[in-house]
Every structure is written in structure tokens, then in C-alpha cells.
Amino acid sequence: MENFDWNALGVVFALLGAVLAALMGGIGSAIGVGMTGQAAAGVVTEDPSKFGKVLILQLLPGTQGIYGLLIGFVTLTQIGILGGEAPTTLAKGLLYLAACLPMAIVGMVSAKWQAKASVSSISLVAKKPDQFGKSMIFPAMVETYAVLALLISILSITSIASL
Amino acid sequence: MTEEYIYAVARVRSRELNLLSRQDVDQLMACRTYDECLRTLSDKGWGDGDPSAEAILAAEEEKTWAFIHELTDDLTPFKVLLYPTDYNNLKAAVKAVVTGVEPRDVFLPGGAVDPELMLRCVREGDFSELPETMAAAADEAYHTLLQTEDGQLCDVILDRACIADLLQCGRESGVEILRDYAELTAAVSDIKIAVRACKTGKSRAFLDAALAPCGTLDASSLAVAACKSLDDLFAYLSVTPYGEAAEKLRESYSAFEKYCDDRVMDLIKEQKMNPFTVGPLFAYVLARRNEISTVRIILSGKLNELDDGMIRERLRDMYV
């Protein structure tokens, strides 16, 4: 163990970050879109003409999965797997991991809460289809925090190489 | 657990658009005759072809339960609504067997337990096929009726068991609306018993046997007050959460019944903002019952050519 090169683990932690961003964002979105899909199906069962409106509301919690994928992809292009250079130190690898965490954690949590807001909005559209515009705003507010996490993760990942 | 009803609640939300609104009730009230009322209901899709009022109302109750059966296989949360029907059928079965009369058209449809099973259990004196608490109550009621020939005592045993089951079901459900509805039903039942007992001069022993313990009323204080006078009973109610009930009872019994139904409506209106639990399904069933009850009042008023003012003061609040 004395001769073990801890710096070799840098790329491992960097990859772990990319994986977590895609994994946790994907899990959150899968749960969220599943929940909203049930509500949307309920409304369409009774009134198929509302399909277009409830479909949009169903898809809203799906964006976190896409953001997670994006962060995962950008990380891979920076750490020598799809491009860039592998982190030469353990610290750099951990920095990539830390940079991915905002998207991973906020992505998973916000997808589930956005789904709850979307389900409520689907109920709103079911009863008052003319309020569709307003019903979009409530779940979209949750999206703000996923976007903020995406921004901070992207800015961090793209800046680590130059440290 | 809360997410298993998302699909069902979304369907209920869509169905709520078809519930009768205050405008629909006004439209029915504006009908000049009973037949015009029936035609208006038929135009709104009520009934299933049979034009008689009872058939229309029965068909609507059936449609409600058919919809609920479509949404969920587990009717446990709805037992709070089904127990009164079951215990009513059990009373009929016990009395039919003890008096040796063949029961005809005495069983109500829509209970959780098959009335024929109840009848067989009572005939054979083996209640093991009935739910546990119902079996114990049925056994006690059957033997009490055999020994005393007192039909009222038999009713008291079964009514009290019904309320106890209802409260237990509400508590065990873990759903706030079910618990509150069960509590309200138990309290209203106790108030009705106390008022009737007070008016007919029943004994303290009768009241102790008839009143079911519930969380918002002290059965013992209620019994003491009911044994004294109506004024004492109303004075006791005024210091409980049912103070308004005392005022309504002073006004008239129909005002009290409207107050009870409106309290249920206040309870379930909160479910309009809940998209996840079984609450909105439960609220939908109660909302449908409420509108069926409202339509029954209007039809009955129109049939007997009552003044519109008299009918209106009996109309219940609507869910939508």
C-alpha cells in the first residue's frame, strides 16, 4: 500500500461524478415522469381531448434526466474518456466529483417535487382547461433550481481543467 | 402509499366536472312540475332508462360505486360508508330469522357483506363467516332478541357495533378525512339518539347502552344531560364542537339534518386540493350521495307541490 499511487484514483472519482449526475437525475426523472404519467392517463381516460395539455405537464419532470446526461457527457469529455485529459491528481478527481454533485442531488430531488407540482397542475387542467398557462407555471418554478444546479455544475466542470 | 391513487384522483377530478353545481340545482328548482324535473335530470344523463324517480336515484348510486370499483380493488377505506348498509341488513336478517318471516325487499344493496350470507349465518347460528366484530354483535343481537323479544334492544346493539366499527376503520385508515368523517358520523349518531331518548323519556341505562363512545363527545355527560331535559342536552352540546347543532335542533330537526350534511360537505371540500391520497375518491362518493340526496329533496318537494322556499331551506351545500 505504501507504493500505491493515490493520484491514479483521480479519474475514478471523476467518472463517479459523471455517473452519479446521469444516474440520480435519471432516477428522479423516471419517478417524476411515472407519477405525472399516471395522472395524465387518468385525465385522458375521461377526456381524450386534453391529451396535448397533460402531455406537456407530464414531460416537465423529465428534464432533470436530460440535465444529468448533459453533465455526465461534459464530464466525460473533460477527463480523458471521450476527450480532454485524465485528472493527474486525486484532488482534481474529487473536484470533478464535487462539481457533478449539485446536478446529481438537486436533479433527483427536484424531479420528484416537480412531479408533485405537475400532478397537481394536471388536476387543475382536468377541471379548468382554460387555466393551462397558469398550471404550467407552478411546476416550472421548481425547474429553476434544477437549472441553477446545472449551471453551477457546468461552470465548475469546465473550469477544473485550468486549475 | 400516497402515490397509488394518482391515476384514480385524476379521473375523479375529470368526473367532478359532471357533478351538479348550484346552477344545476337552481335549474331543477325552476322546473314547474315533478315530471319536468325528471326530464331535466334525464337530459343531464341521470338514470339508465327507467323514468321513475327511485330508479333514477338508485342508478346514480350504482354508477358511483361502479366507478369506484373501476378505480380500486381495495374497498377497505370505503367501509366507513358501507358499514351502515351492512348493519342495516344484519338487523333485517336477525329480525327475519327470529320472527320466522321470509325476508322480501328488506335488504339494502351496496354493502360490503352479502345479505344472503348474513341470513344463512343467522339461520345456522354460526357467525364465523362474518367479519369478527360484526359476528360478535350479530351473535349478541340474535340471542338478545330471542330471549327478550325486544327489537329496539337488538337495534341498539347493532347500531353501537356499527359506530364502533366505523370509528375503528377511520382510525386504522391513517387518512385524515376518513378519521374525521367517522368521528363526525359517530357524534351525530349519538346526538340523534340522545335527542330521541330525551323526548321519549328513556332511562339512563338505555342511553348508556345506546351511546357509542367517541372522541369529540363524552357519552356519559351526554347521557346525563339527555336524562334531565332537552335544555340541559343543548347546554351540554353548546360546550362541545357541536354547539351549532344545539341551535339547529332548537330550530327544527330538518335544520339539524341539513347542518349535519353541510358539516360533511365542509369536511370533504378540503379534498379538492389533494391530488394524492384516497381522500378525493372518498369525497367524490360523499359528493355524489349529497347530490342524490339534494335531488331527492327537490323531487319530493315538487311531487308534493311544496312551496319553493320550503324546499330551498332544506337544500344541501354542493361540492362544486
**Each residue's pLDDT tens digit, B109-126:** 888 899 999 999 999 989
**CB pair distance less than 8 Å for B7 and A41:** yes
Mean pLDDT of B36-44: 92
B308 band by pLDDT with thresholds 50, 70 and 90: confident
pLDDT on residue B2: 60
Say what the pLDDT of residue B37 is.
92
DSSP codes, B250-302:
HH-HHHHHHHHHHHHHHHHHGGGG--SSSHHHHHHHHHHHHHHHHHHHHHHHH
Query: What pLDDT sits at residue A163?
Result: 84
How many CB atoms within 10 Å of residue B307?
A: 9
Please indicate if any CB of chain B lies within 8 Å of the CB of A57. Answer: no
Tally of CA atoms within 13 A in the half-sphere of B282 that contains its CB: 31
Q: Do A119 and B6 touch (CB under 8 A)?
A: yes
Q: Do A42 and B276 touch (CB under 8 A)?
A: no
A45 contacts B6? CB cut-off 8 A:
no
**pLDDT value, residue B305:** 87
SS3 A87: coil
Residue A1, pLDDT score: 66
A65, A26 contact by CB (below 8 A): yes
ipTM of the shown complex: 0.86
Q: Is the per-residue pLDDT at B74 higher than 90?
A: no
Q: Residue B106, Cα to own-chain centre: how many angstroms?
A: 17
A21 touches chain B (CB under 8 A): no
Flag if A120 and B17 touch (Cβ within 8 Å): no
Across the interface, which of A35, A116, A127 has its CB nearest the CB of B13?
A127
- What is the percentage of chain B residues whose pLDDT exceeds 70? 99
B8 touches chain A (CB under 8 A): yes
pLDDT category, B1, cuts 50, 70, 90?
very low
Helix (H, G, I), strand (E, B) or coil at B109: coil
Kindly give the parts of chain A with pLDDT less than 50. none
A-chain residues near B10 (CB < 8 A): 38-43, 119, 122-123, 126
SS3 assignment, position A84: strand
Hey, is the C-beta of A138 within 8 angstroms of any chain B C-beta? no
Tens of pLDDT, residue by residue over B130-177, are 998 899 999 999 999 999 988 899 999 999 999 999 999 999 988 899
Across the interface, whether the CB atoms of B16 and A123 are under 8 A apart is answered: no
Continuous H helices in A47-62: 51-59
**Candidate from A35, A116, A126 with C-beta closest to B14:** A126
Question: On the CB side of A37, how many CA atoms lie within 13 Å of its CA?
Answer: 7
- Per the listing, cell 415522469 goes with A33
Count of pairs with CB atoms under 8 A, one residue in A, one in B: 53
- Closest alpha carbon within chain A to B15: A46
Q: Which residues touch B258 (CB under 8 Å, ≥6 apart)?
A: B248, B313, B314, B315, B316
Q: Give the residue-averaged pLDDT of B247-272.
A: 91
The confidence score (pLDDT) of residue B157 equals 93
Instruction: Identify the three-state secondary structure at position B186.
Output: helix
Q: What is the average pLDDT value for chain A, to the nearest integer?
A: 95
Residue B26 in contact with residue B294, Cβ under 8 Å? Answer: no
User: How far does CA B250 lie from the centroid of its chain?
Assistant: 23
Which residues of chain A does B21 touch, with a Cβ-Cβ cutoff of 8 Å? none
Q: B10–A47: do the CB atoms touch at under 8 Å? A: no
* Helical H segments across chain B, by residue range: 6-15, 22-30, 34-43, 53-71, 79-99, 115-124, 132-148, 151-173, 176-200, 204-210, 219-228, 230-238, 243-251, 253-269, 279-303, 308-312
- To the nearest whole Å, the CA of A124 is away from the closest chain B CA by 8
The pTM of the full predicted model, rounded to 2 decimals, is 0.87
**Residues of chain B with C-beta less than 8 angstroms from the C-beta of A41:** 7, 10
Query: Of A107, A94, A120, A95, nearest to A26 (Cα)?
Result: A107
Nearest CA in chain B to A120: B275
Residue B109 confidence (pLDDT):
84
At residue A79, the 3 state secondary structure works out as: strand
Closest alpha carbon to A116 in B282, B280, B276, B5: B276
Distance CA B242, CA B187 (A): 9
Going by C-alpha positions, the residue among B133, B122, B147 that lies closest to residue B83 is: B133
Residue of A nearest to B6 (CA): A39
Longest dimension (CA), chain A: 70
